Structure 1
Amino acid sequence: MSLFPTYNRFPLTIVSGSGTTVTDDEGNDYLDFVSGIAVCNLGHRPPEVQAAIQEQLDQVWHVSNLYQIPLQEEAANKLIEGNDLDHVFFCNSGAEANEAAIKLARKHTGKEKIITFKQSFHGRTFATMSATGQEKIQQGFGTLLPTFEYLPYNDVEAVEQIDDDEVAAIMVEVIQGEGGVVPGTAAFLNAIQKKCKETGILMVIDEVQTGMGRTGTAFAYEHYSLDPDIVTSAKGLGSGFPVGAMIGKAKLKEAFSAGAHGSTFGGNPLASAAVNATVETIFAPAFLEEVQRKGELFKEKLQESLGQLNIVKEVRGQGLMLGIQLEVEAIQVIHTLREKGLLAVLAGPKVVRLLPPLNVSEEELDKAVQIISTVLQQQDHLQSV
């Protein structure tokens, strides 16, 4: 093997995909409820995005940010339309978007400390690993950046007790994805906003997994009428084309003047074409309403079919980002689901995470519920004997 062994890969080689279905190298089809880990929000090879990328492939692929890129400006305008954000910096991933947010917060405020939360996940660069509130992500890399403090998630009192003049920003996920699909409460998220407004601390919302329609709104913070200073996006932003974005308020503009930050590939013509086509589809109000409706339906059906099982503790989440909290390790369930034709992913050791494409059909959701119910009923029986 010529690759570093950084991934525990499943014994599966996907060779083609269309919509919600992928096919392996042995001809087996699967319902894909991983979506590249919330990346293929429009399914595999969505025609509108594929056409936009193909059109750009026939023109120019890359020019660098030394030159004007009209498609990039168009993509930025789409991302800030209808919200109170003003400027966009394009990069290549969620980690890079969060890295940019950390740099911008520190440069704008002149302060170094950033508060994040236990069980959070913000990336694997050195700064974003330091921002992540999970020891397993940080082990073995020596001294982390010393400017991060981790508070308990959903702890209103801990937020209210913040009293530190050196805090530049509070960085939070509306739903902790890698931390177990744990939604933030309205009281908790509003306590963060109140603290930020009162003290001048910047509110940074990591929407890398929850954004791009995943929860039924363009960004998940909209469910709570929050007013963040910075929002980060990636994953579903380009329908599988690598791209990330940091979006911020106008007051932050001068801190990111020419030369303050940069990216060779960020927002290049191919990436911008993918973003434009993706955002145009996902941000349509009727599309988002359908995501909310299907998400509620999916959650209700899962709760109904799994509610009597001893090994199922909870079904939680929002929109089409759901987690099934088990009383047992979930990895064998993931393997068995795959054997039955459904791809799912872990979110911590005991949580089955479900991230279907946002344009999944009701019939496909019903099929997934049936497979999940069958597998967990069998697992429940094995635990009880």
Structure 2
Amino acid sequence: MSVTQPPITRELFNDVILPIYAPAQFVPVKGQGSRVWDQQGNEYIDFAGGIAVMALGHCHPVLVEALQKQSEQLWHLSNIYTNEPALRLAQKLTAATFADRVFFANSGAEANEAAFKLARYYATNKISPYKTKIIAFHHAFHGRTFFTVTVGGQPKYSDGFGPKPADIVHVPFNDLDAVKAVIDDHTCAIVVEPIQGEGGVTPATPEFLAGLRQLCDQYQALLVFDEVQTGMGRTGKLFAYEHSGVVPDILTTAKALGGGFPVSAMLTREDIAQVMTAGTHGTTFGGNPLACAVAEASLDIINDSQLLDGVEQRHHWFIKALEEINQRYHLFAAIRGQGLLIGAQLTPEYAGRLREIIQAAAEQGLLVLSAGSDVVRFTPSLIISEQDVQQGMAKLHQAIAQVMG
């Protein structure tokens, strides 16, 4: 007897998916470049980019070709064996960065989990068994595993799940004196985002990052850069640490690394990596051939001076358009960020209306994001066309006019 399947609609979400998300009422079914279409055929310009994931837009032909080619060769082996795509990708990542060694996983949270475990393992094995303190920052976001969500400085994500991992201290972001007040010989690591993404698109100052580097050197602690969101060209450099000249000991990246295919990486130096041995850490799917083949294609395209220079050009397109909107509506208290990670903070008068603005934008055919409770966030494709930027900003203008009445 055949069973009639229910229609695949937005309402089905409420019946079958764990109720931890509140997705939009429309269901996207197709994407190409910086445009998306839903089940009804409505078209949207995508300024969200899957939350900084779709660095090359939707269905980039080179990434599609890499996935199709690898899908006919080898999908999965586990880490009982290595594979050529993983080795090629690791070689290219180390050649392009400060790092000597790479660990592949599937998400930013997993890369950060590995980084935090490595920092503690290194400190307790090489220096002192009591060297376990991790210093992190208010409003940070590092993932949703219990360790990473606790290191993240937003209790709303970690409260309610029982006792939290211990020896994690949070201080204000961009406040070097606050770090100096809590760092000591028991500190194993300082964990920082070069730009706090979920926390409101707030850049770290160069002086702050340089001060963290000096403190880590002074106290034999490791400096960990979470570049899950800022990495892979998002800021106009392959990785954001290159802007400041401050080199971390451990770096994590994910999101745009696979251009939409789930993959992440933790990068570190040889001397730190050598503390780990077979079985100390691991993952079943991390470094699988499918993910690494796509990520290699993504890295090859993004790690190009012309593309990276284009990110800065596109930054100016966005800033100019946002400033023009603001001259008319006086909606934004600040417009900040770097490259194509941009946040427009609402004035106190409109701080409670962020959801309205995002909803109105969708109704006009534009996808944008939030960052915190009062920041409109833009993380589009790094190769978005000027026409798409102009048309998207016109839609944002219409949405704001709708909200303002």
Correspondence 1:203-352 to 2 at 5 A: 203-327=223-347, 328=350, 329=352, 330-352=354-376
**Comparing 131-140 and 23-32, the one that deviates more:** 131-140
Which of 59, 66, 73 aligns to 1:45? It is 59
Secondary structure of 1:364 counterpart: helix
Q: Hey, what does 1:358 align to over in structure 2?
A: 382
Matching of residue 56 in structure 1 with residue 70 in structure 2: yes
Give the letter aligned to residue 24 of structure 1. Answer: D
Q: Deviations over 1:299-337 (max 9, x none)?
A: 133123314533321111111111111122200000000
Q: Deviations over 1:90-134 (max 9, x none)?
A: 001000000000110001111211111000000110100110100
Secondary structure of 2:54 counterpart: coil
Distance 1:273 1:211 in 2: 18
**1:200, CA displacement in angstroms?**
1.5
Unaligned runs of 5+ in 2: 1-14, 125-130
Correspondence 1:101-180 to 2 at 5 A: 101-110=115-124, 111-180=131-200
Which of 13, 20, 24 aligns to 1:6? It is 20
Matching of residue 89 in structure 1 with residue 103 in structure 2: yes
Secondary structure of 1:376 counterpart: helix
Secondary structure of 2:93 counterpart: helix
**1:371, CA displacement in angstroms?**
2.1
**1:84, CA displacement in angstroms?**
1.5
Distance 1:226 1:55 in 2: 38
**Comparing 74-83 and 58-67, the one that deviates more:** 74-83
**1:142, CA displacement in angstroms?**
1.8
**1:186, CA displacement in angstroms?**
1.3
Matching of residue 80 in structure 1 with residue 104 in structure 2: no
**Comparing 293-302 and 29-38, the one that deviates more:** 293-302
Distance 1:378 1:13 in 2: 23
Distance 2:17 2:42 in 1: 26
**Comparing 363-372 and 231-240, the one that deviates more:** 363-372
Q: Hey, what does 2:29 align to over in structure 1?
A: 15
CA contact (8 A) 1:93 1:235 kept: yes
Secondary structure of 1:255 counterpart: coil
Q: CA RMSD in A?
A: 1.3
Secondary structure of 1:26 counterpart: coil
TM-score by length of 2: 0.92
**1:178, CA displacement in angstroms?**
0.6
Distance 1:99 1:125 in 2: 7
Distance 2:266 2:367 in 1: 30
**Comparing 43-52 and 182-191, the one that deviates more:** 182-191
Secondary structure of 2:96 counterpart: coil
Percent identical pairs in the alignment equals 44
Distance 1:337 1:200 in 2: 48
**1:138/1:163 CA distance change after superposition, 3 Å:** closer
Secondary structure of 1:45 counterpart: coil
Distance 1:134 1:55 in 2: 42
CA contact (8 A) 2:360 2:402 kept: no
Number of matched residues?
A: 381
Which of 60, 84, 88 aligns to 1:70? It is 84
| Structure 1 runs of 4+ with >6 Å offset | none
CA contact (8 A) 1:160 1:191 kept: no
TM-score by length of 1: 0.96
**1:143, CA displacement in angstroms?**
1.6
Which of 29, 36, 41 aligns to 1:27? It is 41
Secondary structure of 2:285 counterpart: coil
Distance 2:392 2:42 in 1: 16
Distance 2:332 2:98 in 1: 40
Q: Hey, what does 2:10 align to over in structure 1?
A: none
CA contact (8 A) 1:207 1:219 kept: yes
**1:373, CA displacement in angstroms?**
2.6
Give the letter aligned to residue 140 of structure 2. Answer: S
Distance 2:327 2:205 in 1: 23
Unaligned runs of 5+ in 1: none
Give the letter aligned to residue 152 of structure 2. Answer: T
**1:189, CA displacement in angstroms?**
1.3
**1:251, CA displacement in angstroms?**
1.1
Q: Hey, what does 1:189 align to over in structure 2?
A: 209
